[in-house]
Amino acid sequence: MLLIGNQIIINLALIVSTVLTCYFVALKFSGNSRIFNQIDLTNTPFWVIFLFGFFIGLSSLILSNNEIMIFNSFKVDMRYVFIFFSVMYGSIQLGEITTCVVVFGKTLQYLLSGTGGLSFYLNNILLTFLLLAVCILAKKQQYSWKKSLIVFLSFFIILRIFIFSFVYAPLLQPQKLLNLFFYFLIFSSIFLITYVIINMAVSVTNTMNHYKARASTDHLTGLYNRRIFSADLSDTYILSKKSKQAFALGILDIDNFKMINDTYGHQTGDLVLKYLAKQMNEVTQRKDVYIYRVGGEEFAILTSLSKKETTQILAEFRQQLITHPFIENELPLPITVSIGMTEFNYLSDTDSYEGSDILYVRADKALYEAKRAGKDRLVWF
């Protein structure tokens, strides 16, 4: 019993430490730039995901060689939980890499030692791929964590019983059924305890990020504030030079906003700001365009999209202001904007720029030209 307890603790420690290490390293790696779409693991470079998958797969192989002995030949192999966590906390691609590393390692181990026999080896490989398929399904269907856990455990139990019915036939014997009960009890307990511990750590992180977000956003519009814009502009500029990827900066200003405040009052002015933020979010959603409120009626734009794509999106936004006008006293109140844009291109600009501040100056000049030319337009500098 003491041996089983020690094995359970070792398995728990290895699973929790591996998953949390990968999770927090991934957050650290991907949290420096929103603009180049590296905010989560699903969009990080393939070589990074491969390293994560290799590390998790290696940990899974170590886990499979530290099985929990129940009775005689009944051993609890916890390696499958890594597939679940790599898909659900990471990405489908990470889960696939992890699974391939595990299968390759177990295949190599079988070829070198022949442990367990061919039938047992093939059944476990089949189980591994089927559980990966279940995890991918849960991820694609966006199941809740509770539903994902239930589906994974249910399929695992059903598939394991099916495999054991052949490997340990006849299975319907008191001692074998007792072994099977303890097998699933230990596996499910470790899996659920692991989930609780990991979820608590992730929840604390999410709570901290929530408070951080509150300090990072404009209270009226919900957009990122000027402090975050300054940090993002600096980070994006540096990353652009390193990655040799172009990006664009824009400054957007509401036309005649002072007149709106003077005519309709500051409360209506605030509603106009919220309306504008909502329209911008609807048009730019999932298009790698980031909007900030940098002061008063002035907004900033950062994007890694091309000049053509950015122009098209901003044209859609300006059209949105026409088709979905702001309503004041049940009457439409026309809202127009002037936008000044500039692009930083590493091919031509790297040597001539001393820092990101000059980009803001260029965008501001473009905005001035848009205002001077009659407002309600987009001008590139």
- The residues that are catalytic are 297
Phi-psi region at 170: left, alpha or beta (left = phi > 0; alpha = psi -120 to 50): beta
Q: Quote the CA–CA distance of 2 and 64 in Å, as a whole number.
A: 20
Q: Quote the CA–CA distance of 32 and 34 in Å, as a whole number.
A: 7
Residue 6, Cβ neighbours under 10 Å: how many?
11
DSSP state of 331: E
Instruction: Please provide residue 354's backbone torsions phi and psi, each rounded to the nearest 5 degrees.
Output: -95, -20
Residue entry with tokens 């002037």: 338
Instruction: Using alpha carbons, select from 115, 157, 117, 112 the residue that is nearest to residue 134.
Output: 157
- Residue 281 to residues 274, 286, 288, 296, 311, Cα–Cα distance (Å): 11, 9, 11, 18, 16
Give me 333's structure tokens.
């109140």
List the alpha helices (DSSP H) in 74-144.
80-85, 92-113, 117-140
For residue 248, the surrounding DSSP H or E stretch is: strand 247-254
